[in-house]
Amino acid sequence: MKTVIKNAKLITMENDHRIIENGAIAFENGKITYVGENIDDPTTYDEVYDAKGNYVLPGLVNTHGHIAMSLLRGYADDLPLQQWLETKMWPLEGQYTKEHTKWGSYLSIIEMLKTGTTTFVDMYDNMDVVASAVDQSGIRAKLCRGMIGLASDEVQMQKIEEATAFVQDWEGKANGRITTMMSPHSPYTCPPAFIEKVVEKAKLLNVPIHTHMSETLFEVELNVKEYGQRPVAHLEKLGVFDCPALVAHGVHVSDEELDILAKHDVRVSHNVISNLKLASGVAPVQKMLEKGLLVSLGTDSSASNNNLDLFEELKQVALLHKGVHNDATLIPAKTALQMATVDGAKSLWLEEQTGSLEVGKEADIIVLNTNQVFFQPSHDPISHVVYSASGRDVKDVFVQGKHVVKNGECTTVDEEQVIFEANRMFKKFTL
Ligand SMILES: CSC[C@H]1O[C@@H](n2cnc3c(O)ncnc32)[C@H](O)[C@@H]1O
Ligand SMILES: [Zn+2]
């Protein structure tokens, strides 16, 4: 099936940030075959989508989260991280069944697709259920079984075996839309010997490592107290950065630590809204960029955000660092959008598949309804996408060429049923 999107304002996010004012993009068998000036003769295509001058851009990439936690949205607001985790999240997560994970995952996937995210990272338990939801819904994901290592040797081994089986069962599945990682939860919840075992497995399986790192001052101080080193040197010593690595947060990192991360080409998922809500702090993103680190955007879960609309992260990242440093030139709109698209894809080693509109890449494409007052006058599309848009402006979404959101409606999952089931599952918790 040959499809063309015509009459589009194309924001390609190629290296030169090419904008094509009156453009077209075509795809076949899930891959982009043409990006350029508008086409005159649409008769050679099986399907013609008229974008009617709306913005067309690559699907957004969310590089850190826990999607099944959408069931806990709004359950425990206004608390700091450690208290939030220990007294609120972990007790309820202890009650999760596969059914909770299933409906929480679908709820988040519909939300992400409808707000323009076509690729996401997920670290959680019951990952077979998450992967099946990814497969069914048509979204793209990099998934890992998150492992908390504060447990007996037997349970530790069981978790590593489960994570290994998950990688073996799902890497490359769903027509290549699912890829995998190994994931020790964090240095403060995983003993050193456990992390070393995970590193060994990741090397054998040839997959990256994903972990939370240096999110709060508390965990940095704890690391120094327990192991005599700050988290970055600690993880380096345990071999984590000998693998391709993606770390979430990196809020409390010194200049020396940034040098270590840069030396190992560690990718950082910046979770600006979650960090603000949990009062974890402000990551030194400008310094990260100056040191050449690849920085992308993550929402974390909707229990600490409280939604998965990556357009909100886009605007926050562009605003917060200006305000904190008293410098309006920091993180310009182009840089923010790059973090949410092409650099997000690179951070997940998926740049050959997604992140920009280029011939040969897969057709992960979103259309924004820009025929609205707050997109006028229509002269700088990147500025408008970053500073004026919201996920609610997303009209149509294609992943691997499949039309998964049509005129604002998800075509692959029954939204009404998911809303009903998510509420039913929440009622099953003992609060
Ligand atoms: C072992 S599965 C993932 C685990 O991570 C917890 N989690 C959610 N948000 C955060 C965060 O901001 N920092 C650290 N841990 C987080 C979640 O509750 C799961 O237990
Ligand atoms: Zn997290």
Q: Is the CB of 123 under 6 A from ligand 1?
A: yes
Q: Annotated binding residue at 93?
A: yes
For residue 256, the tally of other CB atoms under 10 A from its CB is: 10
Write down the number of H helices and E strands in the chain.
Answer: 16, 18
pLDDT of 16 above 90:
no
Q: Is the CB of 300 under 6 A from ligand 1?
A: yes
- Each residue of 324-382: pLDDT tens digit? 999 999 999 999 999 999 999 999 999 999 999 999 999 999 999 999 999 999 999 99
Gap between the Cα atoms of 252 and 284, Å rounded: 8
State in Å: Cα 38 to ligand 1 middle.
46
Enumerate residues 6+ apart whose C-beta is below 8 A from 76.
Answer: 84, 87, 88, 89, 303
- Atom 19 in ligand 1: which residue has the minimum CA distance? 124
C-alpha radius of gyration, the chain, whole number: 21
ipTM field: 0.99
Gap between the Cα atoms of 344 and 134, Å rounded: 18
Enumerate residues 6+ apart whose C-beta is below 8 A from 200.
Answer: none
Gap between the Cα atoms of 195 and 186, Å rounded: 9
**Which residue ranges form the domains of the chain, and what is each CATH number?**
2-58+353-410 (2.30.40.10), 60-347 (3.20.20.140)
Given a contact cutoff of 8 angstroms between Cβ atoms, the answer to whether 363 and 342 are in contact is no
Q: Annotated binding residue at 100?
A: no
- Each residue of 23-68: pLDDT tens digit? 999 999 999 999 999 998 989 999 999 999 999 999 999 999 999 9
User: How much is the pLDDT for 67?
Assistant: 98
- As a 3-state breakdown, the chain gives helix, strand, coil percent values, each rounded to 5, of 40, 20, 35
User: How much is the pLDDT for 395?
Assistant: 98
The mean pLDDT of the chain is: 98
Using left for φ > 0, alpha for ψ between -120 and 50, and beta otherwise, residue 400 falls in left
Gap between the Cα atoms of 283 and 218, Å rounded: 15
Q: Is the CB of 274 under 6 A from ligand 1?
A: yes
Partners of 141 in the β-ladder: 120, 178
**Which of the ligands is closest to the CA of residue 92?**
1
Taking each helix axis from N to C terminus, what angle separates 127-137 and 98-114, rounded to the nearest 10 degrees? 40
